[in-house]
Structure 1
Amino acid sequence: MTCYDLTHALETGMPVYPGSPPAVVERAATIDDGARVTRLDLETHVGTHVDAPSHMARDGASLDDFDVERFRFDALRVDCTHLGAREPISPSDLPSPTDHDLLAFHTGWDDHWGTDAYRDHPYLSDAAAEWCADNGYSVGLDAFSPDPTPSVDPDREGPDEPEGYPAHDALFEAESFIVENLTNLDAPPAEFTLLAFPLAIVDADGSPVRAVADAG
C-alpha cells in the first residue's frame, strides 16, 4: 500500500477562515508534572477538515449521522492549476461523469498556505457546484472553501467576493461532503482512495481529519 499525506499540520498560528478565532496548540503539562499533555483550542473547521451538511443547512445531517465508511472516498483528481486568483472553476473544467464519488480539485493554492494570498483561491462556480451535486460527487480541494473567501481588503468589491455560500448549499442539499484545506494533491496518482475520517464528535458540523490518499 502506498499512502500520501494530504493534511496540513495543526499548530498555533495556522491559517484559519476569516473571522474564526485563532487555533492554539499549547503545552498543558510537562514531564516534570508527571506526563506531557498538549491542549487543543480550535474550531471544528480548522486545518484539513470535512464539512457536514449541518454546517450550513438548518436541518442538515451531522457527521455522526453517517456510517464511518462514508468517509472513504473513491477520488479523482481534477487539474485546475491553470486557474488564477479568484477565477471560477467552470463546467468546462469538469470531467465526464465517472464512477468516483469525490472530485479532488487540485488548484495548487496550497503553495500559498500561511500567506494572505491563500484567500484568493479559485472556487466552484454555481454551475460547477450544482453539476457535482447532481452527479453525486463530494468535493475536496486545496483551499479554504469551494466558495470565494473574503479578501484581505475589507473595501474590495466584485463578483468573486462572497455573497452567500452557493457551492456549500448545492452540495449540502445533496448530502455531499466537502473536504477543505487539502495539500499535496499533486503527489498521488489521478485516481486514489481518499481516507478522511472525522473525529467522533457528537452532533458535529465538521471535524479535522488526517486526509490520506491510498494509491493501492
Structure 2
Amino acid sequence: MFKLYDISMTLDAGIQVWKDKDAKRPTFENTSNHETGSTYETRISLDAHTGTHLDAPLHMLKDGATIETIPLQDLVGTARVLDLTHVTHEITREDLEPFAIQKGEWILFKTRNSLNEGPNFDVEFVFLRADGAAYLAELGIKGVGTDALGIERSQSEYPTHRTLMRNNVLILEGLRLKDVPSGSYFFVLAPLKLAGIEAAPARAFLLGS
C-alpha cells in the first residue's frame, strides 16, 4: 500500500507570502451567499507566485517561455527528496555532490524552511547558491523543488534562477516537506492551466511505499 504526501501549501488569507508584502496576499471575496437566498460563491485574487508554484522562464528571462509551454510529461515521474536540514544558510555544490544526483531526476530540497509553517516570512531562508545551481544544470536534472518561497536570495542578477532556466531545469517553489522522509517517490505536479504568464500556483503530491 502506498502512502500519499500532499507537499503543497494551503491557499488561504493567512498564507505566508514573499517578504510579508500585503500586495502578495491572496484575497477571498464572498460575492453571494445563502443568507441572501442565492448560491455561495467566492472571487479569488491571487498572485501567480502564491504558495506552491511553478516558475516559467519568462519570470527571469526576457522573451522567456510562458507557463503553458512546460510539457505535462515533465511534471510527473520520479523525484528524490534530499535531507538538507543540516544546512543553515545556503545549498552549495559541495552539499549536493554526496547524493549522486542523476540526469533526468526531479530533486526536492528538504531544509529547515519546512519547519516554518507560520504566516511570517523568514528573510534568512535556506537557498540554492549559484554554484549549486550550476552543478544541477551540469548534471541535466529535470527539475528542482525547494521548501522556500524562492530558490535564491541576496544574489545579484539572479544567477540561480537564470542558470537553471537557461539549461531547461524547471523550478518549483513553496513546498512543504516537514513530514516527508528523504528518499525516492513518484511525483505529481499539477499547476493551474494558465497561459501567457510567468508562473502558476500548483498542487504537488508524492507517493511512496
TM category, shorter: 0.7 to 0.9
Listed as ranges, the matches of 1:56-205 within 5 Å are 56-84=60-88, 87-94=89-96, 95-116=99-120, 118-137=122-141, 138-148=143-153, 161-188=154-181, 190-205=183-198
Indicate if the aligned counterparts of 2:17 and 2:121 stay in contact, CA closer than 8 A: no
TM-score, normalised to structure 2, is 0.88
Q: Which runs of 5+ in 1 are unaligned?
A: 149-160
Tell which deviates more after alignment, 169-178 or 106-115.
106-115
Q: Which runs of 5+ in 2 are unaligned?
A: none
Indicate if the aligned counterparts of 1:4 and 1:188 stay in contact, CA closer than 8 A: no
Q: Which amino acid aligns with 1:89?
A: I
- How many residues align? The count is 202
SS at match of 1:193: strand
Superposed CA RMSD: 1.9
Listed as ranges, the matches of 1:16-95 within 5 Å are 16-18=17-19, 19=21, 20-32=23-35, 33-84=37-88, 87-94=89-96, 95=99
Q: Which amino acid aligns with 1:30?
A: N
Which residue does the alignment assign to 1:156?
none
CA distance in 2, matches of 1:114, 1:163: 28
Tell which deviates more after alignment, 163-172 or 10-19.
10-19
Which residue does the alignment assign to 1:157?
none
Q: % of aligned pairs identical?
A: 26
TM-score, normalised to structure 1, is 0.85
- Offset at residue 99 of structure 1 (A): 4.7
SS at match of 2:5: strand
- Offset at residue 37 of structure 1 (A): 1.3
Q: 1:44 to 1:117 in 2, by over 3 A?
A: closer
- Offset at residue 162 of structure 1 (A): 3.9
CA distance in 2, matches of 1:90, 1:61: 27
Q: Which amino acid aligns with 2:146?
A: L
CA distance in 1, matches of 2:93, 2:60: 24
- Offset at residue 182 of structure 1 (A): 0.4
Q: 1:43 to 1:135 in 2, by over 3 A?
A: same
- Offset at residue 102 of structure 1 (A): 1.2
- Offset at residue 100 of structure 1 (A): 4.8
Tell which deviates more after alignment, 70-79 or 113-122.
113-122
Q: Which amino acid aligns with 1:25?
A: F
